[in-house]
């Protein structure tokens, strides 16, 4: 049996009283302006019709003030007895609370204190809130409550509204940038027969109709490259992806990323492309290329630097991966130097490339403020990337690192189907030996490649992570509207 607070019981009683006057939950209301638009109108504009949630009420004798708010704006409304009528005014004073929805029509004016206000000539009740909002001076402060009740967090906290507006605008700017350059946005499957597209531990599910075990996609990569085979030279997708791995301030198991591919590009073309794209988007969003994050100023202007895996590991671990160039040698050196690295997979089960990667993430990446491009990845770490023509042990790949986080990953794509088959077979052997992040063999993708692929370069960027960076958010969950949480234990 659910229990209600005293305030909730009072509000539920008011619903019955409202029904005697009007429908407490009407089906629609005609608006002429958003709250943001109305707040920017000139004084004297009449027949302005707006609607929103009441977040402030000051009821007085013959005139009251309310404030309406949504994610983009707010505006004050004055309600006077001689404008709306005695009966309507009495209904307002008796039944309307903070949290309720209301529609108002009237004329714009500015008060003596300089606040843009709508002088109501009529109003319509649009929805009763059965639960009171948190106390106005403190709002919703508990982080877990903010994640669980994002709807209340959005109502109460301006910082939250600002973060999600930046996220919405970032994705809009991103799409506009790519669309104007002739990229086509397509959709690729979330349920896959193979856990392909990246090196990561997948989520598994079962397809009842086909009686088939499937994987939630790790990345849309191999399907976007199939689209290039099919004749789409510039293609991208804003994709929800799933990786059944660790969770921390910059990682979630389900996340949003964008991947883009362009035929006839190489990885160096894409490094220039990404720099220009992000500089354009950031300038459009903030009017500056200098962003503050955790007390640091990050400057996105100019040409971004480059550094290699080998240079970083020599600098931060005193290990030359050209010398310790096998899994056995590198693992022995890590143990000898007592370097504690983080890996969900036992180190002895990792291949050379993944071992290099976990070492780099431990000793070097946290020191990288950037923006800086990391290059010369071991080929075994990049099973879908093209090997360098002069040094086949490294791939033509880059990662954009900013403030110790990988923001973009890209490379020249491997388009040789015979070499791709050999590498995926090697990955399958590593997976069978216990490396859970190694990729599976995917012959359907190989068959697509055998119809012929042009030179291609592609890249992927985590939307959540770049927005976390640009908004200075401590946790990636701060920029995900409804992050997954453990269920609360309730009496129900």
Render pLDDT for 85-122 as a digit per residue (tens, 0 to 9).
Answer: 999 999 999 999 999 999 999 999 999 999 999 999 99
In percent, the amount of the chain with pLDDT more than 70 equals 98
Token pair belonging to 113 = 């204190």
CA distance 480 to 466: 12
SS (H, E, C) 81-121: HHHHCHHHHHHHHHHCCCCCEEEEEEEEEECCCCCEEEEEE
For residue 350, being part of any structural domain is answered with no
Q: What is the pLDDT of residue 249?
A: 85
Alpha carbon of 45 to those of 73, 112, 117, 154, 305: distances in Å? 18, 18, 11, 30, 53
CATH code of the domain covering residue 25? 2.40.50.140
What pLDDT, on a 0 to 100 scale, did the predictor assign at position 400? 97
* 291 part of a folded domain: yes
Examine the pLDDT at 492 and tell me if it is beyond 60: no
The listed range with the strongest mean pLDDT (155-164, 248-257, 316-325, 343-352) is 155-164
Confirm whether 81 is domain-assigned.
yes
- Structural domain tally of the chain? 2
Residue 489 has pLDDT above 80, yes or no: no
**116 forms bridges with which residues in the sheet?**
110
Question: Are residue 266 and residue 177 in the same domain, yes or no?
Answer: yes
Say which range, 303-307, 335-339, 411-415, 463-467, has the weakest mean pLDDT.
335-339
Query: What number is the average pLDDT over the span 413-423?
Result: 93
Q: What is the spatial distance between Cα 126 and Cα 458, in angstroms, rounded to a whole number?
A: 49
Residue 482 has pLDDT above 70, yes or no: yes
Same-domain status, 104 and 172 = no
Residue 140: what pLDDT?
A: 67
Q: Choose among 455, 411, 385, 462: nearest CA to 271.
A: 411
Say which residues have a Cβ less than 8 Å from residue 282's Cβ, sequence separation at least 6. 288, 289, 291, 300, 470
Indicate the DSSP class of residue 385.
B
The SS3 assignment for 204 reads strand
Tell me how far apart the alpha carbons of residues 293 and 469 are, in angstroms, rounded to a whole number. Answer: 7
Largest CA distance in the chain: 88
Length of the chain: 492
Indicate the pairing of strand 63-69 with strand 254-263: unpaired
Q: How far apart are alpha carbons 64 and 75 in whole angstroms?
A: 14
Strands 296-299, 212-216: pairing is unpaired
- Is position 197 within any domain? yes
Q: Please state, rounded to an integer, the average pLDDT across all residues of the chain.
A: 92
Structure tokens at 458: 């592609």
**133, 166, 199 - which closes a domain:** 133
Are 245 and 380 found together in one domain? Answer: yes
Statement to judge: residues 184 and 121 lie in one domain: no
Please, which residues have CB within 8 angstroms of residue 332's CB and are 6 or more apart in sequence?
none
How far apart CA 258 and CA 186 sit, in angstroms, is: 11
Q: In which residue are the tokens 């004749």 written?
A: 231
Query: Burial, 85: exposed, middle or buried (Cβ in 10 Å; 0-12, 13-18, 19+)?
Result: exposed
Cα distances from 181 to residues 161, 178, 301, 400, 410, in angstroms, run 31, 5, 22, 22, 19
Residue 243 sits in a domain whose CATH number is 3.30.930.10
Look at residue 488 and tell me if it is in a domain. Answer: no
Residues 260 and 211 in one domain: yes
In eight-state DSSP terms, residue 394 is: B
What distance in Å separates the CA atoms of residue 17 and residue 371, rounded to the nearest whole number?
Answer: 60
Evaluate whether residue 255 is within a structural domain: yes
Is the confidence at residue 490, as pLDDT, over 70?
Answer: no
Give pLDDT tens digits for 214-247: 999 999 999 999 999 999 999 999 999 999 988 8
Q: Residue ranges of the alpha helices (H) in 319-432?
A: 327-336, 352-363, 417-432
Residue 344 in domain = no
Predicted pLDDT at 399: 95
User: What's residue 346's pLDDT?
Assistant: 83
- Looking at the fold, whether 300 and 438 belong to one and the same domain comes out as yes
97 and 174, same domain (yes or no): no
Report DSSP state, residue 453. -
Residue 194 shares a structural domain with residue 298: yes
Mean pLDDT (whole number) for 264-274: 97
What pTM was computed for the model? 0.90
List the one residue out of 458, 410, 398, 473 whose CA is nearest residue 170: 473
Task: Establish if 39 belongs to a structural domain.
Answer: yes
Q: Please indicate, yes or no, whether residues 128 and 178 belong to a single structural domain of this protein.
A: no
The token duo for 331 is 């693992």
Q: Pairing mode, if any, of strands 456-462 and 405-412? A: antiparallel
Which one is predicted more confidently, 292 or 260?
260
Q: What are phi and psi of 334, to 5 degrees?
A: -60, -45
Q: At CA 351, angle to CA 349 and CA 356, rounded to 5?
A: 115
Mind listing the pLDDT tens digit for each residue in 42-52? 999 999 999 99
Question: Predicted confidence band at 136 (pLDDT cuts at 50, 70, 90)?
Answer: low
Separation CA 264–CA 234 (nearest Å): 10
Its domain, for residue 96, covers 6-133
Same domain, 17 and 104: yes
Residue 469: pLDDT band by 50, 70, 90 thresholds? very high
pLDDT tops 70 at residue 137: no
460-474 in b/e burial notation, b at 16+ Cβ within 10 A?
A: bbbbbbbbbbbbbbe
């Amino acid at each position: 049996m659910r229990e209600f607070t005293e305030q909730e019981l009072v509000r539920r009683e008011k619903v019955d009283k409202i029904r005697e006057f009007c429908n407490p939950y009407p089906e629609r209301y005609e608006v002429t302006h958003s709250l943001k638009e109305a707040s920017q109108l000139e004084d004297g504009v009449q027949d302005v019709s707006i609607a929103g949630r009441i977040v402030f009420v000051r009821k007085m004798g013959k005139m009251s003030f309310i404030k309406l708010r949504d994610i983009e704006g707010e505006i004050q409304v004055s309600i006077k007895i001689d404008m709306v009528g005695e009966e309507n005014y009495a209904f307002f004073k008796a039944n309307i609370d903070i949290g309720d929805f209301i529609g108002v029509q009237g004329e714009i004016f500015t008060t003596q204190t300089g606040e843009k206000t709508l002088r109501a000539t009529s109003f319509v009740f649009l929805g009763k809130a059965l639960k009171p909002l948190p106390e106005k001076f403190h709002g919703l402060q508990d982080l877990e409550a903010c994640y669980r009740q994002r709807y209340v967090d959005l109502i109460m906290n301006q910082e939250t509204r600002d973060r999600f507006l930046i996220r919405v605008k970032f994705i809009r700017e991103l799409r506009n940038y790519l669309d104007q350059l002739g990229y086509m946005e397509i959709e690729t499957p979330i349920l896959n027969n193979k856990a392909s597209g990246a090196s990561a531990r997948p989520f598994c599910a079962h397809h009842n109709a086909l009686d088939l075990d499937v994987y939630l996609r790790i990345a849309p990569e191999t399907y976007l490259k199939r689209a290039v085979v099919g004749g789409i030279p510039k293609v991208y997708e804003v994709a929800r992806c799933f990786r059944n791995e660790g969770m921390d301030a910059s990682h979630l198991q389900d996340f949003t990323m964008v991947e883009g591919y362009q035929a006839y590009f190489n990885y160096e073309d894409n490094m220039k492309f990404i720099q220009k794209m992000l500089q354009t988007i950031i300038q459009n969003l903030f009017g500056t290329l200098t962003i503050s994050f955790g007390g640091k100023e990050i400057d996105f202007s100019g040409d971004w630097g480059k550094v290699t895996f080998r240079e970083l590991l020599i600098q931060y671990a005193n290990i030359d991966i050209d010398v310790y160039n096998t899994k056995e040698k590198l693992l022995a050196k890590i143990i000898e130097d007592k370097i504690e690295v983080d890996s969900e997979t036992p180190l002895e089960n990792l291949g050379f490339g993944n071992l290099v990667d976990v070492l780099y993430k431990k000793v070097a990446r946290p020191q990288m403020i950037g923006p800086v491009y990391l290059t010369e990845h071991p080929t075994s770490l990049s099973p879908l990337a093209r090997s360098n023509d002069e040094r086949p042990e490294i791939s033509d790949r880059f990662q954009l690192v900013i403030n110790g986080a990988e923001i973009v990953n890209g490379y020249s794509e491997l388009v040789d189907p015979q070499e791709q088959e050999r590498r995926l077979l090697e990955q399958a052997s590593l997976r069978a030996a216990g490396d859970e992040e190694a990729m599976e063999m995917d012959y359907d993708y190989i068959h697509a490649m055998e119809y012929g692929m042009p030179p291609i370069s592609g890249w992927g960027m985590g939307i959540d992570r770049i927005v976390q960076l640009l908004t200075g958010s401590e946790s990636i969950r701060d920029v995900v509207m409804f992050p997954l949480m453990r269920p609360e234990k309730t009496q129900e």
